[in-house]
Chains A and B, each alone.
Chain A
Amino acid sequence: MKAKIVITPKKAVLDPQGKTVQNALEHLGYQGVAGVHVGKYIEIDLQPGTDPAAARKALDEACHRFLSNPVIEDYRLEIAD
């Protein structure tokens, strides 16, 4: 079982990396790009037999407290097989 965490910059936060990647995509001829947001992906391997609900609760706290910074980032947490 794995926890998959996607962390993205909040919409109100300047994202120069996203903007630069967007410009590069346009430069390479990829049409129709309305916006690019560059974030982080964290994958956590959970021990076999872990209770998914308990893992979600603990990792949700970890995301809020440590893995993301709520001032500047949003996160999505998924527990998957």
Chain B
Amino acid sequence: MHFAVLQFPASNCDQDCVHAVRMLGHTAELVWHKDTSLGAASAVIIPGGFSYGDYLRCGAIARFSPVMQAVQRFAADGGMVLGICNGFQILCEAGLLPGALIRNRDLQFHCEQVFLQTANRATPFTRSIPEGRPLRIPIAHGEGCYFADDATLDRLQANRQILWQYCDQTGRLTDGSNPNGSVRNIAGIANEGFTVAGLMPHPDRASEALLGSSDGRWIFESMVAALAEGSKGGGVAAAQSLGAAELQSR
């Protein structure tokens, strides 16, 4: 599989994402924000950082960059897109994911390990995550408080689009384990078709034991497995075939 990792002025996790993909034995290349093509990418990763200095709002300027117009077309065709941290903020600003990310409730920048409960394991972004154990993955953000109105949240919940929620190390969703005040402890979500997902924590910074945790690797492995399964039809086919498999297994 071949991943396109976007690179904006002030992206700072672009190389980490490339490294995480290559460690899985797949290829990744950086795509500059002024490029209008994603090349032969099977999937896109929008990495963390502070694109365009976070000016105006995080992701507000990046969403209008030439490369994001290519991502819009890629996503409209059912291509798989993962946004991490600033990448999640960009996807929300671009309207590819619902809601917005606002200042952490305590106004502090949080750089720490958190635990994540995987709320839906039947998606192309979560299918390889083992059941029953929270993921230990770091966050590093000042504006990671997920917000959406109640109608949107109810829709996300009903469609099982909430993929990850902040929890304590035993997997309980507590207020104390919510580092930024996100509504319903939301750390990451997907679009309705489960082809676009975003999360504030950094799986790229938890993808090998040397980094203190390799739990993030399961997210990249999930994407690779889904792509392999739906390699002819892209992410939508992968999502749909996975949904069918999930139904059969019940």
Shortest 7 CB-CB contacts between residues of A and residues of B: A71-B100, A72-B100, A16-B105, A16-B107, A69-B100, A13-B147, A72-B102
- A13–B106 CA distance with the chains assembled, in angstroms: 14
Q: Interface residues of A toward B: which range?
A: 10 to 19
* Chain A CB within 8 A of B145 CB: yes
Which residue of B has the minimal Cβ distance to A40? B56
- Contact between A69 and B57 (Cβ–Cβ < 8 Å)? yes
* Binary flags per residue of B134-145, CB closer than 8 Å to A gives 1, else 0: 000000000001
Encode contact with A along B223-248: 1 for CB under 8 Å, 0 otherwise: 00000000000000000000000000
Bitwise, B77-116 to A at CB < 8 A (1) or not (0) is 0000000000000001100000110111111000000000
- Can you list 9 A-B pairs with a CB-CB distance of less than 8 A? A16-B103, A16-B104, A16-B105, A16-B106, A16-B107, A17-B107, A66-B64, A67-B56, A72-B102
A69 to B63, CA, bound (A): 12
Chain A 19-40 residues near chain B, CB threshold 8 A = 20
Q: Which of B104, B107, B149 contacts A20 (CB 8 A)?
A: B107
Cβ distance A51 to chain B, nearest Cβ, rounded Å? 25
The smallest beta-carbon distance between A44 and chain B, in angstroms, is 13
Partner of A69, one of B64, B93, B104, B107: B93
Cβ-based interface call for A12 (8 A): yes
A14 contacts chain B at the CB level, 8 A cutoff: yes
CA distance A49 to B60 in the complex (A): 30
- Interface residues of chain B: helix, strand, loop or mixed (majority): loop
CA distance A69 to B143 in the complex (A): 14
Q: What is A's interface to B at a CB cutoff of 8 Å?
A: 9, 12-14, 16-17, 20, 66-67, 69, 71-72
Residues of A within 8 A of B104 (CB): 16
Interchain nearest-CB distance for A13 vs B (Å): 6
Q: What is the CB-to-nearest-CB distance from A15 to chain B, in angstroms, rounded to a whole number? A: 8
- The reply to whether B147 and A14 contact each other, CB–CB distance below 8 Å, is yes
Inter-chain CA distance A3–B217, complex, in Å, is: 49
Does B103 contact A72, Cβ atoms closer than 8 Å? no
Residue of chain A at shortest CB distance from B148: A71
Q: Cβ of A20: which chain B residues have Cβ within 8 Å of it?
A: 107
Residue of B nearest to A67 (CB): B56
Q: Are B181 and A66 in contact (CB under 8 A)?
A: no
The answer to whether B147 and A72 touch across the interface, beta carbons within 8 angstroms, is yes
Contacts of B102 in A (CB 8 A): 9, 13-14, 72
CA distance A77 to B86 in the complex (A): 29
In this complex, the member of A9, A16, A20 whose beta carbon has the largest number of chain B beta carbons within 10 angstroms is: A16
Given contacts A14-B147, A16-B181, 18 further A-B contacts (CB under 8 A): A12-B149, A13-B147, A14-B102, A14-B145, A16-B103, A16-B106, A16-B107, A17-B107, A66-B56, A66-B60, A67-B56, A69-B57, A69-B60, A69-B100, A71-B92, A71-B99, A71-B148, A72-B147
